[in-house]
Amino acid sequence: MSKQFDVIVIGGGPGGYIAAIRAAQLGFQVACIDEWKNEKGGPAPGGTCTNVGCIPSKALLQSSEHFEQANHHFADHGIKVSDVSIDVAKMIGRKDTVVKQNNDGILYLFKKNKVSFFHGRGSFAKAVEGGYEIQVAGSANETLTGKQIIIATGSNARALPGTPFDEVKVLSNDGALRINAVPKKLALIGSGVIGLEMGSVWRRLGSEVTILEGLPTFLGAVDEQIAKEAKKAFDKQGLKIELGVKVGEIKTTDAGVSVAYTNAKGEALSLDVDKLIVSIGRVPNTIGLNVEAVGLQLDERGAIVVDGDCKTNLPGVWAVGDVVRGPMLAHKAEEEGVAVAERIAGQHGHVNFNTIPWVIYTSPEIAWVGRTEQQLKADGVKYKAGTFPFLANGRARALGDTTGMVKFLADATTDEILGVHIVGPMASELIAEAVVAMEFKASAEDIARICHAHPSLSEATKEAALAVDKRTLNF
Ligand SMILES: Cc1cc2nc3c(=O)[nH]c(=O)nc-3n(C[C@H](O)[C@H](O)[C@H](O)COP(=O)(O)OP(=O)(O)OC[C@H]3O[C@@H](n4cnc5c(N)ncnc54)[C@H](O)[C@@H]3O)c2cc1C
């Protein structure tokens, strides 16, 4: 006998677990199925984000940043430390504890919201009158029937053709977060968000890190001025980034990995390293979902085809997060999850793709929302720009971190904020003000006239807004 639900969510990452909670809040009987296993084989909901993505990467970035501070910056504050060393096992153990706290937190939230959790793989069995039959294969095999199905099965790391991940020498994000000793030499392929974050972690801990990037421009999606400033900082730190390379044969040897490549000048080179992290993007995941059984439509990339409301080609079947079009970001997945639950309830769930913030958690951090200067030029929009450097911000000086700037782009006629771009300390937190401002269609003048606490990094945001009208007060 199959168990009946109003809503069945397949996948318990940020898209899925949030959709399940919101649907339960709206009064539906909800099931959430997730197959992720912890090292003991138990449930570990939270998806890529919690287990091998956002959360563990930020835990390691924090640990390695403390190490970097102790080694290179404590002395500036008059703090003397000697023999600073890193216990990698302890650092990884702490990261695992943080992950587990988040897994447990989600299980608690399911209980609190009366979401029925099933640990196993969910797949479509067949369409039935008024819904779908979903098979769960896991610790217990179950058959569930749901009137509405939300798919949130996420994504997997993309491997280089012919070079599968062995997670010992050739690592995806998964293995990169479990390295058990500091590699002497580390190479990364791909200088996107994940490459830069992982490269930063291991460089801070003492690896000689080289990032090989196929594209000729560094961080092409980022505002050019901001990307240049970030590159300068990474160069200074010793993070070697080679642009415009063509990767050739990759051989694993007893000693490690040998990567043949041609650099931007056309020279044939090879790099011998202890470990290689491949961070060249992610592919939507529908493995095991048995989409054929119901005729669910996928695109040429393997993503589930959805409309602007996350509706698939099948009635009552929705899809959210990394498995559909749009940026592969946890908060985008969450927003879609909430919106779909609300649409199922007949409400007007809404996701504003123009105000989704982006963050790279390197040091300096990089964060932005809205359009870049190069996009505005390409779109033929007349704009005004204003920048303010952290060098002229009192709090940044007190912190000892004056790298970078805040940059505002506003419409030349209406002064509406079109984009805000930050490279510098706590950019990940500062960007929230810009997101709120853009969501409310604020002008640069609005931010310039708001009282900001002194001394705070957020004063740089206010000053950059003032700079749009060429009237900074502190620069
Ligand atoms: C190293 C790294 C760092 C990142 N850092 C950030 C960051 O700082 N900020 C940010 O916004 N994003 C970050 N991301 C991206 C973020 O992790 C993803 O965008 C987010 O996890 C997508 O959420 P999702 O719910 O769509 O899918 P996922 O988180 O991938 O969750 C999908 C879940 O579905 C389960 N599943 C799949 N198929 C089935 C099935 N058939 N049955 C049952 N369960 C199934 C999977 O096991 C998984 O638990 C990072 C990613 C990586 C790899």
Stretch(es) of the chain classified as CATH 3.50.50.60: 3-157+283-351, 170-280
Domain 355-468 homologous superfamily, CATH: FAD/NAD-linked reductase, C-terminal dimerisation domain (3.30.390.30)
Report helix, strand or coil for 1.
coil
Confidence at 142, pLDDT banded by 50, 70, 90: very high
Q: Give the tokens for residue 79.
A: 């703090």
Q: Is the peptide bond before 455 cis (omega within 30 degrees of 0)?
A: yes
| Ligand 1 centroid – CA 356 distance (Å) | 17
Among the listed residues 72, 73, 350, 454, the single catalytic one is: 454
Bridge partners of residue 118, in order along the sequence: 33
Cα separation, 7 vs 4, whole angstroms: 9
Quick one: CA torsion of 159, 164, 166, 171, rounded to 10 degrees?
Answer: -20
Check if 48 has its Cβ closer than 6 Å to any atom of ligand 1.
yes
| Domain made up of 3-157+283-351: CATH architecture | 3-Layer(bba) Sandwich (3.50)
For 51-71, b/e burial (b = at least 16 CB within 10 A) is bbbbbbbebbbbbbbebbbeb
Q: What is the mean pLDDT of the chain?
A: 97
Cα separation, 176 vs 60, whole angstroms: 10
Predicted TM-score (pTM) of this structure:
0.97
Check if 53 has its Cβ closer than 6 Å to any atom of ligand 1.
yes
Check if 13 has its Cβ closer than 6 Å to any atom of ligand 1.
yes
Q: Would strands 383-389 and 185-189 be described as parallel, antiparallel, or unpaired? A: unpaired
**231 to each of 142, 216, 457, how far by Cα in Å?**
52, 13, 21
Across residues 336-352, what is the average pLDDT? 97
Phi, psi of 469 (to 5 degrees): -100, 15
The one-letter code for the residue type at 236 is K
| Ligand 1 centroid – CA 334 distance (Å) | 11
The order of strands in the sheet holding 185-189 is 170-171, 275-278, 185-189, 208-212, 240-242
Asked if residues 390 and 404 have their Cβ atoms less than 8 Å apart, the reply is yes
**pLDDT value at 1 more than 80:** no
- Residue indicated by tokens 């609190």: 112
The one-letter code for the residue type at 177 is L
Which residue has the CA at smallest separation from atom 19 of ligand 1? Answer: 329
Check if 15 has its Cβ closer than 6 Å to any atom of ligand 1.
yes
Cα separation, 318 vs 312, whole angstroms: 5
Task: Please give the number of the atom of ligand 1 that sits closest to the Cα of 198.
Answer: 1
Helix axes 224-237, 193-204, angle to 10 degrees: 20
Check if 239 has its Cβ closer than 6 Å to any atom of ligand 1.
no
| Ligand 1 centroid – CA 47 distance (Å) | 5
Which residue has the CA at smallest separation from atom 51 of ligand 1? Answer: 53
Burial class (CB in 10 A: 0-12, 13-18, 19+), 253: exposed
Cα separation, 230 vs 218, whole angstroms: 9
| Per-residue pLDDT tens over the stretch 155-184 | 999 999 999 999 999 999 999 999 999 999
Structure confidence at residue 140 (pLDDT): 74
Provide the CATH number for the domain formed by 170-280 in this structure. 3.50.50.60
Structure confidence at residue 139 (pLDDT): 77
Stretch(es) of the chain classified as CATH 3.30.390.30: 355-468
Pocket test for ligand 1, best of 9, 21, 34, 48 (most atoms within 8 A of CB): 48
Confidence at 344, pLDDT banded by 50, 70, 90: very high
| Ligand 1 centroid – CA 444 distance (Å) | 35
Question: Is 119 designated active site?
Answer: no
| Per-residue pLDDT tens over the stretch 365-383 | 999 999 999 999 999 999 9
Across residues 204-228, what is the average pLDDT? 97
The one-letter code for the residue type at 62 is Q
Cα separation, 413 vs 294, whole angstroms: 52
> What string of DSSP letters covers 214-235?
SSSSTTTTS-HHHHHHHHHHHH
Check if 362 has its Cβ closer than 6 Å to any atom of ligand 1.
no
Report helix, strand or coil for 474.
coil
Asked if residues 128 and 147 have their Cβ atoms less than 8 Å apart, the reply is no
Give the N- to C-terminal CA distance of the chain in Å, as an integer.
71
| Ligand 1 centroid – CA 347 distance (Å) | 26
Pocket test for ligand 1, best of 54, 95, 283, 289 (most atoms within 8 A of CB): 54
Which residue has the CA at smallest separation from atom 49 of ligand 1? Answer: 47
Share of the chain above pLDDT 90, in %: 99
| Ligand 1 centroid – CA 51 distance (Å) | 8
| Per-residue pLDDT tens over the stretch 226-236 | 999 999 999 99
- Residue indicated by tokens 């990169």: 176
Across residues 61-82, what is the average pLDDT? 97
